[in-house]
Structure 1
Amino acid sequence: DVLYTVCNPVGKVQRIVIFKRNGIQAMILNMMCMFESVFCAQKAKAALNGADIYAGCCTLKIEYARPTRLNVIRNDNDSWDYTKPYLGRRDRGKGRQRQAILGEHPSSFRHDGYGSHGPLLPLPSRYRMGSRDTPELVAYPLPQASSSYMHGGNPSGSVVMVSGLHQLKMNCSRVFNLFCLYGNIEKVKFMKTIPGTALVEMGDEYAVERAVTHLNNVKLFGKRLNVCVSKQHSVVPSQIFELEDGTSSYKDFAMSKNNRFTSAGQASKNIIQPPSCVLHYYNVPLCVTEETFVKLCEDHEVLSFIKYKVFDPKPSAKTLSGLLEWECKTDAVEALTVLNHYQIRVPNGSNPYTLKLCFSTSSHL
């Protein structure tokens, strides 16, 4: 029940099987969870790996399993087929062994908010600690804030290696524009010895997981990206050279205001989506029109969109938001890579508006 409650909001769960080690359900459980589709499983792994089921304990470690299907003979404490409720009945929540899920609450429980994720479920009442109770709700895990200035170090596996980058059209800023959708970006460095390859140091290993899940094998400027976890623990600014467009091969983004996961509140506003042909735009001035975006695409030599939609702003709003649809996913990815964080200047305005783009949950307009 607990695993279903945690996983099903992310991707539809079909079957769950619990495996016992040496016949004992101890502090660590091995479970297999079968989702409705591969995409659901990918979303669940990206969103939940490393999350705490309860605050400060029961950390999930999620890996892909070799079996392609789970077979459930009957619905009981150790297995359940959610597509076939007639396989058996159970009194949900009564008389079930829960020690393996709850465990003993660690005495060194931290309240400083620097854990790897927010809790997925409220802590049972016998484990609560006064006024600092966790909320009575199921919450999605939030990525960590930027590691360089909150943790003073880098978690293992926080660097990705990206190959297949177009040598004439890609630079550090454009890599940032694409990868920042999945986590904070600390540093980007193109490798001098391997043309078209860059190292991207991200805020934490979960950001890396999301980037690999959603961006590996994506087509960009006629080349297919290969995104994988690097053996490097951090990006060191060595062998800096000039890229084809005249920009530096290395850039530090740790303090960039365009990082979107710098606080729990900011991170919760991000919707992690795989690349699609529809982009959500926001933070543009009220004077921006469809023609503004058309000219923006022309000026930056990217294919223009085929459909445009603007959301009705609130009376007190100072910015606009809406959707842009491209002919195909590749065109949208290229437009986002080039145009994300473009500075829109308004006549007689003091400060420019930073155009923000992300992939939309809508597949078409």
Structure 2
Amino acid sequence: MATLIKLLTKFSMDQRAMQKETQTSKVVHIRNLPNTATENDIMQLTSKYGTVSKIILMKNKYQALVEYANLVDSQAFIIEMNMTNSMFLGSRIYVQYSKYQSLDSYTTKTTPAAPSFSEPEPSRVLLATIMNVKYVIDVNVISQVFSPFETNSRRTVEKVIVFRKPAGLHALVQFSNLASAAKAKNELEGKNIYTGCCTLHVTYSVEKELEITENSELARDFTNPSLPYKKTPSESFQIPSADSSAMGPRGRDNRPVLSSTAAAASSSSRMLMGMMLPDSSLILPHSVVLVSNVPAEKMSITEIFNLFSNYGIIKRVKVIHSDHSKVLVQFTSPDMARSAISNLHGCTLFGSTLSVVASKFDTIQTPIPKAGGGDGLTVDFQETKLNRYKFGSEFHTKGMNVRPTAVLHVSNLSSLTTEDKLKKHFEEKQPHPVRGIRMIEIPSASSASSSSTPSASEKVSTKKMALIEFESSSQASEVLCTVHNTSLDGMTLRVSFATNKL
């Protein structure tokens, strides 16, 4: 036993000595390359992590030396390769810092001069490489990280695509302009999304425009929310291992806490990413969300219900007794909760920016009734007809994935309702000026199929709807909160965010 301890001690000392002698370098040494590897193959592998200055391929030794423009890039490459045990062209490669600090000092009679490469030209599309991934990363997380640097009216990046390659996890992020992309690149380079992990390496992409045909957790066109939505299988997400938590570091309210360095890079963000990242990055285990920063004087349980019922069937809503600016909302499924988080986190209403995250509670308990009724802070919506969707029924997911827009869709209008009546009703409930109204009439199936003149009953059955536009999505959201489920000309109005323009 004593001999074994001595041997282990000596091995440990030798390891520490070797580590001490190992110096970082802009030059990395790659071993165990397949004999089919070319300089272009190595360029494609290494350039994702930064600007590559030189490559020397020693094909007969199955090795290569790669010099980066700076130390940060070489560190990023080595960390990612060692974390992922990366495969390259079917071969498990090994990487380490080279003893050379520059390839200018490397000479060989058999090796020709190495070619030089440069970083892609500045572009409004960025390529982000996420290294040391420990938690789930999807388009919602990437959007929350990069959107604070966007300057368009939506205050969100235009498009995001998340994809995996043998070298690791990557994301393409498209901004509306070059200046925003350049600022995001400079501010986020080397920052951690979560404390101690999910490190960002950001470069310009060779892509000039991202093409997205359907929205999902791995691809999102924020300029076109009406695209069909495809649910992505859970195995598509970047969960490092079965025994690691996908939930991320937890705050007091069970929310993932953003790295302080990344938060500092975007502390002015309206998305509140300096405080938390939303749990929309997660495959939620239950269906309760926590809503914080609620303007309690403007939004009661009714307004909360009207807003959140856009994204699914609501069971219960509960205002936190000790802090009325916090509200719990329980849906009937985790997918609905996820949709609410994805679309409402960071939205501004009545001067407050909402934070919508996964709650630590898996259900909202109904309080024991007291004399005179309940506590007034918890409302059960299961027995009402106020929900937009029916319990136990499937409904189109398109409506669940529409972010607040400046245009509202109003349905269930009476045939007696005119444009002037509708405008007056809306402005009385919430005094925001209406920018425009378009009335829509759709004949019922019976009247549409009839070639003769419609009867009075058929005219009454004609569906009447409207599109109403306001100055901003914030104003439209406030109107929706107060006007949905109100009565006009004997009909209960149904108000939702529109996918069409006026």
TM-score normalised over the length of structure 2: 0.41
Query: Contact 1:261/1:267 (CA < 8 Å) preserved in 2?
Result: no
Query: Contact 1:172/1:188 (CA < 8 Å) preserved in 2?
Result: yes
Letter in 2 for 1:17: R
Pick from 480, 483, 495: which aligns with 1:339? 483
Letter in 1 for 2:469: E
Letter in 2 for 1:34: L
Letter in 1 for 2:304: V
Counterparts of 1:179 and 1:218, CA distance in 2: 12
Q: Note if 1:191 corresponds to 2:320.
A: yes
The aligned runs of 1:302-321 (5 Å cut-off) are 302-314=431-443, 316=447, 317-321=461-465
Query: Contact 2:443/2:463 (CA < 8 Å) preserved in 1?
Result: no
- Which residue is 1:18 aligned to? 165
Query: In percent, how many aligned pairs have the same letter?
Result: 23
State the Cα deviation string for residues 8-43 of structure 1 (Å, max 9, x = none). Answer: xxx9676743237xxxxxxxxx764535469xxxxx
Q: Note if 1:326 corresponds to 2:470.
A: yes
Between the two structures, name the one with larger relative contact order (CA 8 Å, sep ≥ 6): 1
Counterparts of 2:467 and 2:404, CA distance in 1: 14
- Which residue is 1:176 aligned to? 305
The aligned runs of 1:1-365 (5 Å cut-off) are 16-19=163-166, 32=170, 34=172, 36=174, 66-67=199-200, 140-141=230-231, 156-238=285-367, 248-257=376-385, 258-260=387-389, 262=391, 265-268=394-397, 270=399, 272-314=401-443, 316=447, 317-346=461-490, 353-362=491-500, 365=502
State the Cα deviation string for residues 240-268 of structure 1 (Å, max 9, x = none). Answer: 89xxxx99221111344323264665234
Counterparts of 1:69 and 1:256, CA distance in 2: 50
Query: Contact 1:183/1:261 (CA < 8 Å) preserved in 2?
Result: no
Query: Contact 2:409/2:467 (CA < 8 Å) preserved in 1?
Result: yes
Counterparts of 1:191 and 1:139, CA distance in 2: 34
Counterparts of 1:331 and 1:324, CA distance in 2: 12
Query: Contact 2:174/2:209 (CA < 8 Å) preserved in 1?
Result: no
* Secondary structure of residue in 2 paired with 1:299: helix
Any unmatched runs of 5+ in structure 2?
1-138, 140-157, 177-196, 211-215, 217-227, 233-283, 448-460
Query: Contact 1:336/1:357 (CA < 8 Å) preserved in 2?
Result: yes
Query: Contact 2:436/2:470 (CA < 8 Å) preserved in 1?
Result: yes
Following superposition, the deviation at residue 213 of structure 1 comes to 2.0
* Secondary structure of residue in 1 paired with 2:412: strand
How many residues get paired?
Answer: 240
Larger deviation, residues 313-322 vs 167-176? 313-322
Any unmatched runs of 5+ in structure 1?
1-6, 21-29, 39-63, 74-80, 85-116, 118-137, 143-154, 347-352
Following superposition, the deviation at residue 66 of structure 1 comes to 5.0
RMSD: 3.8
TM-score normalised over the length of structure 1: 0.55
Following superposition, the deviation at residue 297 of structure 1 comes to 2.4
* Secondary structure of residue in 2 paired with 1:165: coil
Counterparts of 2:464 and 2:477, CA distance in 1: 21
Kindly name which structure, 1 or 2, has the bigger radius of gyration based on alpha carbons: 2
